Amino acid sequence: MTTTTTSNYFIEIENQYGAHNYHPLPVVLEKGEGVYLWDVEGKKYFDFLSAYSAVNQGHCHPKIIDSLIHQAQKLTLTSRAFYNNRLGEYEKFMSEYFGFDMVLPMNTGAEAVETAIKICRKWAYEKKGIAENNAQIVVADNNFHGRTTTIISFSNDLNAQKNFGPYTGGFIMVAYDNIAALEQLFQTHPNIAGFLVEPIQGEAGVYTPNESYLMQVKDLCNQYQVLFIADEIQTGIARTGSLLAVCGNCNCANQCEQQETYSKPDILILGKALSGGVYPVSAVLADKAIMEVIKPGQHGSTFGGNPLGVSVAMTALEVVYEEKLIQNARKLGHLFRAKMREYIQHSNIVQLVRGKGLLNAIVINDSEHGQTAWNICMKLAENGLLAKPTHGNIIRFAPPLVMTEDQLLECIDIITKTLKEFE
Ligand SMILES: *Cc1c(COP(=O)(O)O)cnc(C)c1O
């Protein structure tokens, strides 16, 4: 095969035999290491998506891969019909790492969100005393929490929702980053059990709320006996320059209890980078009074909490502290936004940069349905950097957190040179 037929071949068989539920950039990857990816022609790229923040620890991190191989040779799956010698250890580790009493292990992000919804509803009936089938969960405008029928029922992305009805009820939408609107809802609806929210809206286009928003959410939830449910599947695990986005400016959830900036949720949802992108691992964390509402037989998953997944996750979380990914994300995030702001001052094509830590986005001066952002991403790929538009005119920039300052400067160079071609 010649070099160009190699890529085309893989693209064509995906097109022919795979459902068309994605619209990928025409790049066929076969290898990853740290911040780099290589395509089947051997071209090297900087990864600026990190599999939607699943690969925070970098591609094929040797320590995480070792952990995977080691456990895979010993025991992979027992189901929860029996105990295994890894799960309890993992639950203890997670509980101490994130500062919650208990963990409920699942596999994908959407499953963990579903789990949180179920816990919240059960809590509403058994603890808060809401009449059965009347519990309401408040969600934010432009949320993204996954793709199940229940989750898309409370999406306002028409593409995600249309013709998948009938929809699941029990959800009320509120404007994101609007504490007055939230309070108004809490005041007027007596049956609200929870508020499910992304601390920074990733898929919507990296919308970072007002600095005091999350703390006000927490206070308001406390005041109205509503569970604050934080979906940190994309923002968690060092991505935004703190262990969790709800940690504010603290480095470590373990010490956050004393920190004034920590808006501790009642239910925390994790996924993606929990396994460093090596294996699907997700989790729901809560304190005992909430988690206890789930009793044997009421919820579960064949693969949830399997020895392979939990071994990988423990190692992936060790890497976060060992390699100081929180501090690195924070430092490089400041540098990235500063450099982009410098560029934007003299730019007609880029309107603004926003984000926190290494979860950032630029807004392109084009309509939401324009092609410019896509064309820029195509050109970025040609120039050796992989990023993808989210919602038409927004490009998300989220490299692995193991990136060095020199590498980031090199990437900023690629980005600004590419943007100049569109001015
Ligand atoms: C990716 C994501 C999900 C869904 O996770 P999956 O593993 O794709 O099911 C849910 N919430 C947020 C905030 C996400 O970014």
The 10s digit of each residue's pLDDT in 37-90 is 999 999 999 999 999 999 999 999 999 999 999 999 999 999 999 999 999 999
| Ligand 1, pocket residues at CB < 6 Å | 52, 108-110, 113, 144-146, 198, 202-203, 231, 233-234, 271-272
Distance from the CA of 363 to the center of ligand 1, in angstroms?
A: 22
In the three-class reduction of DSSP (H, G, I as helix; E, B as strand; rest coil), residue 288 is classed as helix
In the three-class reduction of DSSP (H, G, I as helix; E, B as strand; rest coil), residue 33 is classed as strand
- For atom 11 of ligand 1, the residue with the nearest CA is 145
Q: What are phi and psi of 136, to 5 degrees?
A: -120, 140
CA distance 135 to 194: 9
The answer to whether 394 and 373 are in contact (CB under 8 A) is yes
Locate the ligand 1 atom nearest the alpha carbon of residue 282 and give its number. Answer: 7
Locate the ligand 1 atom nearest the alpha carbon of residue 232 and give its number. Answer: 13
The 10s digit of each residue's pLDDT in 300-346 is 999 999 999 999 999 999 999 999 999 999 999 999 999 999 999 99
Locate the ligand 1 atom nearest the alpha carbon of residue 198 and give its number. Answer: 13
- For atom 8 of ligand 1, the residue with the nearest CA is 109
pLDDT at res. 169: 98
Distance from the CA of 119 to the center of ligand 1, in angstroms?
A: 18
List the Cα angle 77/321/360 in 5-degree steps. 95
pLDDT at res. 295: 98
Q: How confident is residue 4, by pLDDT bands cut at 50, 70 and 90?
A: low
Distance from the CA of 233 to the center of ligand 1, in angstroms?
A: 6
Q: Which residues are catalytic?
A: 144, 231, 272
Residue 251 has pLDDT above 70, yes or no: no
pTM higher than 0.85 for the full model?
Answer: yes
Distance from the CA of 171 to the center of ligand 1, in angstroms?
A: 18
The 10s digit of each residue's pLDDT in 228-244 is 999 999 999 999 999 99
Q: Which of 149, 154, 234 to mutate to test the pocket of ligand 1 (most atoms within 8 A of CB)?
A: 234
> Taking Cα atoms as reference points, which of 156, 233, 230, 242 lies closest to residue 199?
230
* End-to-end C-alpha distance for the chain, whole angstroms: 38
